[in-house]
Chain A
Amino acid sequence: MVRKVLVANRGEIALRIVRACRELGIGSVAIFSEADRESTHVRVADEAFCVGPGPVPRSYLNVPNIISAALVSGCDAIHPGYGFLAENARFAEICADHGLKFIGPRPEIITAMGDKATAKRVMAEAGVATTPGTDILASVELAREAADKIGYPVLLKATAGGGGKGMRVVERPEDLERAFLGATAEAEASFKDGRVYMEKLIRDPRHIEVQVLADEHGEVVHLGERDCSIQKPSHQKLIEEAGAPNLTERARTRLHEMAVLACRHVGYSNAGTLEFLSSGDDVFFMEMNTRIQVEHPVTEMVYGIDLVKEQIRIASGEHLGYTQADLEPRGHAIECRINAEDARNNFAPQAGKLGTVLFPGGPGIRIDTHIFSGASVPPYYDSMLAKVIAFANTRDQAIARMERALRETFVDGVATTTEMCLEILGTEGFRNGIYDIGFLPRLLAQRVG
Chain B
Amino acid sequence: MTSEYSPEEEPSARAQRLAEFFVGTPLLRLRIEREDEEFEFARSAPAALPRSPEAALSPEPAVELPVDILRADVVGIVRFGRHVPTLGEEVPEERELAAIEALGIRTSVRARSSGRLRAILCQDGAAVDYGRALFEIERG
**A interface list, Cβ under 8 A from B:** 34, 48-53, 59, 64-69, 71-73, 98
- Contacts A68-B74, A68-B103, A72-B77: A52 and B127 contacting too (C-beta < 8 A)? no
Question: Shortest distance in angstroms between B130's beta carbon and chain A's nearest beta carbon?
Answer: 5
3 nearest A-B pairs in the assembled complex, by CB-CB distance: A72-B127, A49-B129, A68-B102
> Counting CB contacts under 8 A, is B75 at the interface?
yes
Q: Which of A50, A71, A72 contacts B130 (CB under 8 A)?
A: A50
Residues in chain A near residue B74, CB distance under 8 A: 64-65, 68
Residues in chain B near residue A48, CB distance under 8 A: 129
A67–B75 Cα distance when bound, in Å, is: 9
Query: 14 extra interchain contacts, Cβ-Cβ under 8 A, other than A50-B132, A69-B75?
Result: A34-B130, A48-B129, A50-B129, A51-B130, A59-B130, A64-B102, A65-B74, A65-B75, A65-B102, A65-B130, A67-B103, A68-B74, A68-B103, A98-B103
> Counting CB contacts under 8 A, is B66 at the interface?
no
> Counting CB contacts under 8 A, is B76 at the interface?
yes
- In the complex, the answer to whether B130 meets A64 with C-beta atoms within 8 Å is no
Q: Which of A49, A67, A72 has the most CB of B within 10 A?
A: A72
Residues in chain B near residue A72, CB distance under 8 A: 75-77, 102, 127
20 contacts between A and B (CB under 8 A): A34-B130, A34-B131, A48-B129, A49-B129, A50-B75, A50-B129, A51-B75, A51-B129, A53-B130, A64-B74, A65-B74, A65-B102, A65-B130, A66-B75, A67-B103, A68-B74, A68-B76, A71-B103, A72-B102, A73-B127
Question: Shortest distance in angstroms between A213's beta carbon and chain B's nearest beta carbon?
Answer: 33
A359–B103 Cα distance when bound, in Å, is: 43
| Chain B interface mostly | loop
Question: Shortest distance in angstroms between B57's beta carbon and chain A's nearest beta carbon?
Answer: 41
A310–B131 Cα distance when bound, in Å, is: 35
Question: Shortest distance in angstroms between A29's beta carbon and chain B's nearest beta carbon?
Answer: 11
**B interface list, Cβ under 8 A from A:** 74-77, 102-103, 127, 129-132
A49–B77 Cα distance when bound, in Å, is: 12
Chain B residue at minimal CB-CB distance from A64? B103
Q: Which of B76, B77, B103, B130 has the most CB of A within 10 A?
A: B130
A50–B75 Cα distance when bound, in Å, is: 8
Question: Shortest distance in angstroms between A69's beta carbon and chain B's nearest beta carbon?
Answer: 5
Question: Shortest distance in angstroms between A75's beta carbon and chain B's nearest beta carbon?
Answer: 12
Residues in chain B near residue A34, CB distance under 8 A: 130-131
Residues in chain B near residue A67, CB distance under 8 A: 103
Residues in chain A near residue B75, CB distance under 8 A: 49-51, 64-66, 68-69, 72
Chain B residue at minimal CB-CB distance from A72? B127
- In the complex, the answer to whether A52 meets B130 with C-beta atoms within 8 Å is yes
- In the complex, the answer to whether B103 meets A50 with C-beta atoms within 8 Å is no
Residues in chain B near residue A71, CB distance under 8 A: 103
Question: Shortest distance in angstroms between B62's beta carbon and chain A's nearest beta carbon?
Answer: 31
Q: Which of B77, B131, B132 has the most CB of A within 10 A?
A: B131
Question: Shortest distance in angstroms between B25's beta carbon and chain A's nearest beta carbon?
Answer: 25
Chain B residue at minimal CB-CB distance from A73? B127
Question: Shortest distance in angstroms between B12's beta carbon and chain A's nearest beta carbon?
Answer: 26
Question: Shortest distance in angstroms between A56's beta carbon and chain B's nearest beta carbon?
Answer: 14
Residues in chain A near residue B76, CB distance under 8 A: 68, 72
Residues in chain A near residue B131, CB distance under 8 A: 34, 50
Residues in chain B near residue A64, CB distance under 8 A: 74-75, 102-103
A185–B77 Cα distance when bound, in Å, is: 49
Residues in chain A near residue B129, CB distance under 8 A: 48-51, 69
Residues in chain A near residue B102, CB distance under 8 A: 64-65, 68, 72
A73–B126 Cα distance when bound, in Å, is: 10
Chain A residue at minimal CB-CB distance from B126? A72
Chain A residue at minimal CB-CB distance from B105? A64
Chain B residue at minimal CB-CB distance from A65? B75
A65–B130 Cα distance when bound, in Å, is: 8
A59–B127 Cα distance when bound, in Å, is: 18
Residues in chain B near residue A66, CB distance under 8 A: 75
A426–B45 Cα distance when bound, in Å, is: 60
Question: Shortest distance in angstroms between B83's beta carbon and chain A's nearest beta carbon?
Answer: 24
A65–B73 Cα distance when bound, in Å, is: 9
A413–B122 Cα distance when bound, in Å, is: 39
A73–B74 Cα distance when bound, in Å, is: 14
Residues in chain B near residue A73, CB distance under 8 A: 127
A66–B129 Cα distance when bound, in Å, is: 10
A8–B76 Cα distance when bound, in Å, is: 16
A34–B102 Cα distance when bound, in Å, is: 20
Question: Shortest distance in angstroms between B31's beta carbon and chain A's nearest beta carbon?
Answer: 13
Residues in chain B near residue A51, CB distance under 8 A: 75, 129-130
Question: Shortest distance in angstroms between B11's beta carbon and chain A's nearest beta carbon?
Answer: 21
A59–B129 Cα distance when bound, in Å, is: 12
A48–B102 Cα distance when bound, in Å, is: 17
A195–B129 Cα distance when bound, in Å, is: 43
A51–B95 Cα distance when bound, in Å, is: 26
Chain A residue at minimal CB-CB distance from B74? A65
Chain B residue at minimal CB-CB distance from A34? B131
A66–B130 Cα distance when bound, in Å, is: 10
